[in-house]
Every structure is written in C-alpha cells, then in structure tokens.
C-alpha cells in the first residue's frame, strides 16, 4: 500500500532511522485516534483528516523530545485537540470574514447528520471544555475511565466527577 | 456511559472511521517532510561551508596584500629598500610558521593598528611614525623640557582673614573678578552688601 521513500543523505541530522521506525509503527493507530479527536471537535470528515495529518506531522517532528513513550497517546490527543480547536476558530473566522455567518457560531457539520445527531452536537457544544474533553474521549474507541484519566493526566476521581456532571447536563438539555 | 442510552448515542455520533488511506497519506506526507528537512539541512551545510571558505580566504590572503604591510617594513633606515625586500618577509614567515600560520597583529605604538598615512614615500605610504621619527632624528622637533614647556609659576598661599588658603594649581591665567562680573555686581562688591 505504501512505498517507503529512501531518505536523502543527511536525514540523520533530523530524525534517525530508529526514531522513524518507532514512529511508523504507531501511525495507523495514532492517525485513527487523532482523526476521531479532531472529528469530535470539528464534525467534518475532511477537516478532521487534515487536522489528523497535521497532528501526525507535528508529532513526527517532535517525536524525539518525548521521553516516556507510554504517554504517546495522551500527548497525541492533546496535540490533536489543540489543532482541531485552532482549525475550528480559523474556520469560524473565515466564515465571519466572508459574511456567511454573523456571529461566527457555525460549525461545518456534515450534511448527512440527522436532526437527533445535530441536537446532540449542539448539547455537547454547550459543555465547557473541561467537561467536553473527558466526555468525548470516553465515548470514542471505548476508552475506560482509567484510560481517559491517563490520556488527560488527571486523577480518576476528577475524571469521574467531570463525566458525571457532563452526562447530567446533556440529559437535562436533551430532555 | 450506558445510562439512559446517552452513551450509545454519543458513541454512535462519534463512531466515525477515517478514510482507509489516511495512514498512507500521512506516511507520504511524513516522507515528504523528511525529504524537505533533509534538503534544508544540506543547503545549510553548503552555505556554511562556502562562508567558512570565504572567511579563510579573507584571513589568509588579505595579510599578503600591500595595504597591510607590517610597520617594520616601513622603518626609516638608510638601506630601507634592502631591509624591506629581505628581512621582514623572512621574519614574518618564521613568525607565522611558529604560530601555525594565520594573521597576526603586530603590536606597535599605535596599539596594534597601522598608523594613518601622512604622505607617500618611495616605498609606499608614509605613516606618522615615520615622519615623527625622521623629524626627531633631524632635531627639528622640540623634544620638550623645562625651557620649552609653559608651566605656570609656583603659586603662593593667600592670606584671607587669618586663614592660609592654598590656591589650586591651575594654569597661570590672571583673571580679575571685577572685570568678569557685571558692572552692577562689581559696584555692590566694592561698596559692600547693602543688606
């Protein structure tokens, strides 16, 4: 599927072969994770794939600075989340600049989304970020509570209380 | 997250799979990024090498030019031409060999910098040191001494209301304060303060 391009001489000055191989084996899983995190923010497939690509490229450039490889997924989630938020703000600014949205409160929701899904997304958008991030991470890829706590580098009790509060808010707003 | 079906709804909304070729596109982009970074590193190496070569050329070739001849070759001697033709070159070559080559700055009375040119002689531009030494040798310049320096006479203590005040050792410039002050102030000073 993918043909590896031989690196030019001098590439060892930036990323060595061992680091490249260690990163390459993580790309399939990491790309899916980055895409889902980005999609949970952007709700647009193409934009989420662009953000996932950018996340992996940036992660590749700074992969050698990561000391604890066990924190690779958490590191990647934070990077993807930040880049997705940046892309979301940039998209809103472009819409406002082009005069398509007056208040700049539009997301590029895919047209195939049902009314029920759009209502759910609207409710998720109302959540503050400290509640939204654990809720989304717990919902994608079946992450358990300890996994979400590890991804966010928060105590499990904190994540549990935030998830409870997020669910309570959603149930109230979707009633 | 399974209470009241909210967890299922969330999973259904978020369970979106990326394109099957997303990983392949990312790998291609990583290769392209590595290639561009590698090319950038090569360009930086080439530019650095060229800069180093240019610097070495400037430092090695520039001292050989006539503009930066050492001061010793311009010394005023009867057989100046012969000395300039043989001795300084050999001395410079041995000094450079002893210090591993490279440019050396010769200390002189001008602090290591070549003296400014004050004229043109038969062997090139004459420096101030040449003309000064020539003039000293000819005796046309006052070398200085007690007779030639205008030193003020030794000052004597001045008696002011019983106190002996030692005046400062200033140049003997006689200034009459009455002439310096304005007329009104001088008149007040001569008559006394009305207050």
Q: Does B41 touch chain A (CB under 8 A)?
A: yes
Residue A52 has what pLDDT?
Answer: 94
From A20-34, A41-55, B49-63, the region with the lowest mean pLDDT: A20-34
Q: What is the mean pLDDT of residues A40-60?
A: 90
User: A40, A44, A56: best mutation site toward chain B, by most B Cβ within 10 Å?
Assistant: A56
B18: helix, coil or strand? coil
A60–B33 CB contact, under 8 Å: yes
Residue A142 has what pLDDT?
Answer: 74
Closest CA to A131 of A107, A104, A152, A110: A152
B10–A120 CB contact, under 8 Å: yes
Q: Does B45 touch chain A (CB under 8 A)?
A: yes
Chain B residues in contact with A61 by the CB 8 A cut-off are 33
**Stretch 11-50 of chain A: residues touching chain B, C-beta under 8 Å:** 11, 13-15, 20, 23-24, 27-28, 31-32, 35-36, 39-40, 45, 48-49
Burial class (CB in 10 A: 0-12, 13-18, 19+), B112: exposed
Q: A136: distance to nearest CA of chain B, Å?
A: 8
Q: B36: distance to nearest CA of chain A, Å?
A: 9
Which one of A144-148, A162-166, B2-6, B60-64 scores highest in mean pLDDT?
A: A162-166
Q: Which two tokens stand for residue B164?
A: 């002996």
Distance (Å, whole) CA B142 – CA B136: 8
Chain A residues in contact with B22 by the CB 8 A cut-off are 31-32, 35, 49, 52-53
Which one of A41-50, A98-107, A157-166 scores highest in mean pLDDT?
A: A157-166
Tens-place pLDDT, residues A94-121? 888 887 655 444 455 555 667 888 888 8
Question: Can you spell out the DSSP letters for A10-58?
Answer: TGGGTS-HHHHHHHHTTHHHHHHHHHHHHHHHH--HHHHHHHHHHHHHH
Q: What is the mean pLDDT of residues A36-59?
A: 90
CB neighbours of A85 closer than 8 A, spacing ≥ 6?
A41
Distance (Å, whole) CA A24 – CA B27: 8
For the cut 50, the answer to whether the pLDDT of residue A6 exceeds it is: no
Tens-place pLDDT, residues B121-174? 566 655 555 555 555 555 555 555 445 445 555 555 555 555 555 556 555 555
For the cut 90, the answer to whether the pLDDT of residue A140 exceeds it is: no
Distance (Å, whole) CA A1 – CA B98: 65
Q: What is the mean pLDDT of residues A123-135?
A: 88
Task: Please say whether the beta carbons of A69 and A91 come within 8 A.
Answer: no
Mean pLDDT of chain A: 81
Distance (Å, whole) CA A168 – CA A22: 41
Residue A13 has what pLDDT?
Answer: 46
Number of A to B CB contacts under 8 A, please give it. 115
CB neighbours of B161 closer than 8 A, spacing ≥ 6?
none
Residue A95 has what pLDDT?
Answer: 82
Distance (Å, whole) CA B40 – CA B29: 16
Q: B5: distance to nearest CA of chain A, Å?
A: 10
Distance (Å, whole) CA A137 – CA A36: 9
Task: Report mean pLDDT in 10-residue bins for chain B, 195 residues.
Answer: 70 83 90 88 95 92 66 55 54 52 50 54 57 55 50 54 57 55 57 56
Q: What is the mean pLDDT of residues A70-88?
A: 89
Closest CA to A172 of A129, A135, A125, A123: A123
């Amino acid at each position: 599927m993918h043909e590896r391009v031989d690196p030019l001489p001098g590439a060892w000055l930036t990323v060595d072969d061992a680091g490249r191989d260690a990163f390459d084996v993580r790309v399939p899983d990491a790309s899916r994770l980055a895409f889902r995190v980005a999609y949970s923010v952007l709700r647009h497939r193409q934009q989420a794939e662009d953000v996932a690509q950018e996340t992996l490229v940036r992660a590749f450039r700074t992969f050698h600075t990561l000391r604890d490889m066990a924190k690779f997924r958490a590191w990647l989630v934070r990077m993807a989340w930040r880049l997705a938020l940046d892309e979301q703000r940039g998209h809103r600014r472009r819409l406002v600049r082009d005069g398509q949205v007056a208040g700049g409160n539009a997301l590029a929701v895919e047209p195939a989304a049902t009314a029920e899904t759009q209502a759910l997304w609207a409710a998720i958008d109302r959540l503050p970020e400290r509640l939204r991030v654990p809720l989304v991470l717990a919902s994608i890829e079946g992450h358990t509570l300890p996994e979400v706590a590890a991804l966010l580098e928060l105590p499990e009790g904190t994540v549990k209380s935030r998830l409870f509060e997020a669910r309570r808010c959603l149930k109230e707003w979707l009633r | 997250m399974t209470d009241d079906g909210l967890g299922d709804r969330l999973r259904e909304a978020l369970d979106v799979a990326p394109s099957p070729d997303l990983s392949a596109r990312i790998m291609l982009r990583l290769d392209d990024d590595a290639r561009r970074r590698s090319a950038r590193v090569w360009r930086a190496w080439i530019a650095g090498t060229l800069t180093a070569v240019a610097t070495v050329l400037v430092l090695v070739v520039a001292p050989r030019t006539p503009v930066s001849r050492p001061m010793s070759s311009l010394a005023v001697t009867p057989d100046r031409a012969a000395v300039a033709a043989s001795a300084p070159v050999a001395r410079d070559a041995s000094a450079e060999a002893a210090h591993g080559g490279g440019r050396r700055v010769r200390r002189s009375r001008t602090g290591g910098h070549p003296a400014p040119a004050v004229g043109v002689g038969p062997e090139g531009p004459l420096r101030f040191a040449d003309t000064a030494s020539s003039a000293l040798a000819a005796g046309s310049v006052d070398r200085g001494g007690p007779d030639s320096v205008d030193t003020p006479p030794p000052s004597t203590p001045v008696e002011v209301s019983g106190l002996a005040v030692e005046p400062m050792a200033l140049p003997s410039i006689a200034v009459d304060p009455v002439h310096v002050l304005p007329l009104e102030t001088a008149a007040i000073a001569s008559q006394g303060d009305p207050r």
